[in-house]
Amino acid sequence: MQRRTFLKSTAVAALTAVPLATSLTGNASAADIPVSSLAQLQSAINAAVPGDRIVVADGTYTVPSGGAINVSGKHGTSDQQITIVAKTRGGVVLRGGNSFVFSNSSDITVSGFAFRQSTTMDIPANCSSIRLTRNDFQFADDGDADWLVVRANGMKVDRNHFHDKTTIGLFLILDGSSATGIAQDLYVFKNHFSDHSFSGENGGEPIRLGASNWALSDSKAKVEYNLFERCDGDPEAISVKSSANTVRYNTVRDSLGGIVLRHGNRNRVEGNYLLDGKDGIRLYGNDHIIVNNYVSGLSGTAMVVGSGSTRDHNPDETKEERRGNDACDRVVIVHNSLLNNAKTLEGETRTYAPQNVVVADNLLVGTSGNLVAMGATSGFTWQTNMLWGSAANGNIPSGGFTRADPKLVQGQDGVLRLSSGSPAIGAATLSSTAVADDIDGDPRGSARDIGADEYATAPALRHPLTAADVGPNAA
């Protein structure tokens, strides 16, 4: 029985067909400043005041060697940004070594440009509240390895397309200005990351939040509603190396990389789809919440609960210890659906076993091997998980699961959800962790279902993302 209706978004229009100067902030006003050369653009930026909108005429502009478009000492306000906008989305192509170079500036929006520069765009720590929106990023592959480095607080990166990178390096890095001074409150929203084809074993992540030296620093970044496609430059599509971040409602499709909490504590991974790629969710560190994720069709492992070369990261550890793996402790893994992957739920064999982890109300389905293949563990709680398929149960404790057919049906969006009469309905029992809704956006209520999906007859509010939902023309 089909119980869902999937409404596909309209196809993405050509970037240059969308007039951006009026669509970004409303109708043109007296504050609009049209420019048609780099010299005019620089003069307009130098004279800009809060509320000004500098509109750049379509065309290709090449920044001379050693030069830049400098945004220095310019401050908008939260209500009146200084906006630098292409006349049409993608209609202004910026080539050369640099494009915009920021310093000591705040509340600046840059929108609609096609960046083709060869050096890293670095947003320094003396800036704040910089927004990059509706841009197209494809830097020169023979230039700097990394494309966008964020060191500023309160930065927003939304509705951009980062694509077609063949060399080592990252699309987007959250960084900092000192050993402990990581940037805070980065918001990464509705971006499209695609086609990273670097063939090395490491160093080609689409997103990295921090680095090993910031493992204990709270960056409080939010990464949500982004689409990752064919991101094959690294086993980590989203690499988290800091604390107190939220990664939710993203779709990782047909990619080598997965979501990896490599360093840090108290991160939340919620409501993500990982589909038809290789690696799923891998966990290190303490006190994370892993909830409502849907992992299906992977050629690797859906979820790894990591062991450690150290028990906990701490301020006194050596540089080498800080680079090591922190055993996964006091993590709650609840309401996830791990369906039809080559391997389902596994552990590792380093010195320090994960401990005091709760694995509850998850749905595990597979056709070969073992559904659970943990290494050494300590103090785990296994509670009302449901297992199904021709795969063996593995080494999950006998009291921590039931084996029953969840009666899944496939929706038009390809997602397997519970049908009426499923034994998973109302069978969840973990009450210690509040879970308000499911991966679709349906409320959980008091009688919660096992797995990422809460049975409902109404159309789902959230689906796996497509290219029409993200990037420069997204709503």
Average pLDDT of span 276-284:
98
Tokens coding 73: 């000492």
387-416 pLDDT tens trace: 999 999 999 999 999 999 999 999 999 999
Residue 311 sits at the vertex; the CA angle it makes with 308 and 315, to the nearest 5 degrees, is 120
CB burial of residue 446 (10 Å; 0-12, 13-18, 19+): exposed
Q: What is the pLDDT of residue 3?
A: 37
- Position with higher pLDDT, 135 vs 432: 135
d(CA 250, CA 273): 6
d(CA 385, CA 48): 59
Q: What is the pLDDT of residue 28?
A: 47
Tokens coding 189: 């929203």
d(CA 233, CA 468): 23
pTM here is 0.93
177 CB-near residues (< 8 Å, 6+ apart): 124, 125, 151, 183
Q: Is the pLDDT of residue 1 over 50?
A: no
Q: Is the pLDDT of residue 88 over 60?
A: yes
Looking up tokens 């090449």 gives 62
d(CA 286, CA 41): 48
Of 335, 238, 240, 236, nearest to 278 (Cα)? 236
d(CA 413, CA 440): 12
Continuous segment of H or E residues that includes residue 40 = helix 38-47
Q: Domain map of the chain by residue range?
A: 15-30+145-469
Q: What is the pLDDT of residue 2?
A: 32
Of 417, 419, 404, nearest to 451 (Cα)? 417
From residue 64, alpha-carbon distances to 94, 101, 111, 117, 171 in Å are: 11, 13, 22, 11, 24
Average pLDDT of span 307-319:
90
Amino acid type, 399: G
Sign of CA dihedral 189, 454, 363, 333: positive
Average pLDDT of span 46-58:
97
Q: Is the pLDDT of residue 463 over 80?
A: yes
Label residue 97 by pLDDT band (50, 70, 90). Answer: very high
d(CA 5, CA 41): 48
Question: Is residue 474 within 8 Å of 22, Cβ to Cβ?
Answer: no
Average pLDDT of span 285-306:
98
Q: What is the DSSP letter of 310?
A: B
d(CA 475, CA 462): 15
Of 300, 305, 144, 285, nearest to 237 (Cα)? 300
d(CA 264, CA 240): 7
Label residue 180 by pLDDT band (50, 70, 90). Answer: low
d(CA 251, CA 130): 25
d(CA 438, CA 451): 9
User: Which of 53-57, 82-86, 315-319, 378-382 is predicted with the least confidence, judged by mean pLDDT?
Assistant: 315-319
Q: What is the pLDDT of residue 320?
A: 80
Of 290, 427, 424, nearest to 345 (Cα)? 290
d(CA 475, CA 472): 9
Looking up tokens 């596994």 gives 346
Average pLDDT of span 119-146:
96
Q: What is the pLDDT of residue 27?
A: 40
343-363 pLDDT tens trace: 999 999 999 999 999 999 999
Average pLDDT of span 95-108:
98
354 CB-near residues (< 8 Å, 6+ apart): 305, 306, 307, 308, 327, 328, 329, 331, 347, 377, 378, 380
15-30+145-469 falls under which CATH superfamily?
Answer: Single-stranded right-handed beta-helix, Pectin lyase-like (2.160.20.10)
d(CA 115, CA 128): 21
Q: What is the pLDDT of residue 17?
A: 46
Q: Is the pLDDT of residue 133 over 60?
A: yes
Q: Is the pLDDT of residue 195 over 80?
A: yes
Residue 339 sits at the vertex; the CA angle it makes with 333 and 342, to the nearest 5 degrees, is 105
Looking up tokens 């840059």 gives 110
Looking up tokens 């994960």 gives 354
Average pLDDT of the chain to the nearest whole number = 93
Q: What is the pLDDT of residue 19?
A: 59
Average pLDDT of span 227-252:
97
d(CA 210, CA 231): 19
Label residue 7 by pLDDT band (50, 70, 90). Answer: very low
Question: Is residue 319 within 8 Å of 345, Cβ to Cβ?
Answer: no
Q: Is the pLDDT of residue 373 over 50?
A: yes
Tokens coding 148: 């966008």
Q: Is the pLDDT of residue 321 over 90?
A: no
Average pLDDT of span 233-261:
97
